[in-house]
Amino acid sequence: MRARSRSARRIRVVFGVAGPKRVQKGESTSDLVNSAHVGDNSELFARLLALHVPAGSKVADVTYGKGVFWKRIPSGTYQLFASDLELAELDRDIFVRYRDKVDCRSLPYADDSFDALVLDPPYMEGFFRRQQTHRAGSGTHSAFRDAYADGNTYDAGDGGPKWHDAVTDLYLRAGIEARRVLRPGGVLIVKCQDEVSANKQRLTHVEIVTGYEDMGFYCKDLFVLVRSNAPGVSRLLKQVHARKNHSYFLIFELPRGRAKRIRSVRWSPQREQQPVLGAVDADGGEGGKRTVSKNPASEKKVAGKKKAAGKKKAAGKKAKAAAGKKKAAAGKKKAAGKKKAAGKKKSASKKKSASKKKSASKKKSASKKKSASKKKTAAKKKVSTRTRKKRTANKKTKRQRTASKKK
Ligand SMILES: C[S@@+](CC[C@H](N)C(=O)[O-])C[C@H]1O[C@@H](n2cnc3c(N)ncnc32)[C@H](O)[C@@H]1O
């Protein structure tokens, strides 16, 4: 078959009708989606979506805002569910299902119901200030303020995380909710930017990656978006940190299998109290929400007790296993001893029977010998009486002959 196709190709080459020679799969190209991109959100978003989310997928954008991300995506390419704490009043796309006043930490969707989820909450602590005039985003950032601090600000409540910790808190809680509504193998696209907060460098993208990986997500890709214009400041005394002109798109994948297990969630050590992330509701369903404990201290205590009980259980199991091993070894030893004793008994009985046999045969041969010798002596005796008889008879005849002669 192969030889025939080779000869057929030779014929086609001779007549000048052969197609291109077969090469290895794939084509050489430089038209690739690169990890760093200079431009705007919508350009990079369109490229990374094409790379990571197949057309027709069911996608939830839970911080839709003004829908800037979707500007370059032909409507109807995806089954898009757009929600926000406060959706901007814009022309609506008939292919998009909108939902206003939805907190990304508590989504009205069923478990495992989306192929992909987009999360782009306010990423600067400055956007969390209660008064619009106190919020970050002045000067060259004013356009950012309009776009990013749009809608309600995140309020973690009294005693909740503040400043940059509030940013991380929102990302982590939204991540947990994303984990609930995404199907195994689903994709989570997160937009973020690092920031200097209270004169400290806070690498938000690192905090998100480590926190989400603890939740069971796998960080599949990372894109750096570089602003095409140079950011400036109105008052500069002395520059301490590099001025940030880049942000990130992080791509996470929810692994199949044991993805629904949280190992731990990292929190800033600056927080006074460890926030407690309750377990995902077992009954989930439409509107299934995470239960967040009202009494973190007691939950902590319970968790500690549970941990200790688990440890005890594990230790018990170990001890049980060791005891089982010991028992098995003792049983083996016993069986071996029994075997040995049985062998010994066997050999002893063998020896006994052998010696019995030997003595019996000895006895037999001795009696045989005795009877033989007896027979011999009896025969000898018989012979001697016969000869004696013969002799006396001879003597008798001799005497008779001499007597007759004398007569
Ligand atoms: C950076 S903007 C999103 C921009 C959006 N990606 C776009 O393309 O236009 C942040 C958005 O998060 C929303 N937001 C803030 N806190 C939220 C929360 N807890 N749940 C849902 N949305 C929230 C704001 O209303 C705002 O629209």
Shortest-distance atom of ligand 1 to CA 61: 6
Q: Compute the C-alpha angle 48/202/124, nearest 5°.
A: 65
Which of the pair, 260 or 98, is modelled with greater confidence? 98
Query: In a 3-state reduction of DSSP, which class is residue 44?
Result: helix
Least confident of 77-91, 277-291, 299-313, 345-359: 277-291
Please identify, by atom number, the ligand 1 atom nearest to the C-alpha of residue 45: 8
pLDDT tens per residue across span 213-265: 888 899 999 999 999 887 777 788 888 999 999 999 999 999 887 555 666 66
Give the model's pLDDT for residue 327. Answer: 78
What is the DSSP secondary structure assignment for residue 290, as one 8-state letter? B
Ligand 1, atom 4, lies closest to the CA of: 65
- Alpha-carbon distances, residue 301 vs 103, 276, 308 (angstroms): 29, 11, 10
CA 41 to chain centre: 35
The minimum-distance atom of ligand 1 relative to the CA of 147 is: 2
Q: Which of 42, 49, 63, 204 to mutate to test the pocket of ligand 1 (most atoms within 8 A of CB)?
A: 63
Q: Hey, which of 85, 128, 193, 247 would you mutate to test ligand 1's pocket, going by the most ligand atoms within 8 Å of its Cβ?
A: 85
Q: Identify the residue with better confidence: 17 or 240.
A: 240
Which residue, by CA, sits nearest to atom 3 of ligand 1? 65
**44, 223 contact by CB (below 8 A):** yes
Please report which confidence band the pLDDT of residue 392 belongs to, taking 50, 70 and 90 as the band edges: confident
Q: Alpha-carbon distance 280 to 158, whole Å?
A: 24
How many A from CA of 154 to the centre of ligand 1?
10
Q: Confirm or reject: Cβ of 84 under 6 Å from ligand 1.
A: yes
In angstroms, what is the span from residue 143 Cα to ligand 1's centroid?
Answer: 15
> From the CA of 332, how far away is ligand 1's center (Å)?
69
Res. 293 pLDDT band, cuts 50 70 90: very low
Q: What is the number of the ligand 1 atom nearest to the C-alpha of 170?
A: 19
Ligand 1: centre distance to CA 172 (Å): 15
Pick the atom of ligand 1 nearest to 151's CA.
25
Is the distance from the beta carbon of residue 45 to the nearest atom of ligand 1 less than 6 Å?
no
Give me 374's structure tokens: 């007896």
Largest CA distance in the chain: 193
Q: Is 155 in the pocket of ligand 1 (CB under 6 A)?
A: no
Decide: 137 in ligand 1 pocket, CB within 6 A.
no
Per-residue confidence (pLDDT) for residue 101, from 0 to 100: 95
Query: Among candidates 229, 183, 218, which has minimal Cα distance to 39?
Result: 229
Nearest atom of ligand 1 to the alpha carbon of 68: 8
Single-letter code of the amino acid located at 394: N
Question: Does residue 188 sit in helix, strand or coil?
Answer: strand
CA of 249 to the centre of ligand 1 (A): 15
Using the structure block, give the residue that is written with the tokens 């400055």: 126
Side chain identity at 212, as an amino acid letter?
A: Y
Q: Looking at ligand 1, which residue's alpha carbon is closest to its atom 12?
A: 121
Measured from the Cβ of residue 290, the count of other Cβ atoms closer than 10 Å reads 18
- What pTM was computed for the model? 0.60
Residues 277/176, Cβ–Cβ less than 8 Å: yes
Q: 174-196: per-residue pLDDT in tens? A: 999 999 999 999 999 999 999 99
CB 237 within 8 A of CB 51: no
pLDDT over 70 percentage in the chain: 63
154 C-beta closer than 6 A to ligand 1: yes
pLDDT number for residue 124:
79
| Cβ of residue 121 lying under 6 Å from some atom of ligand 1 | yes
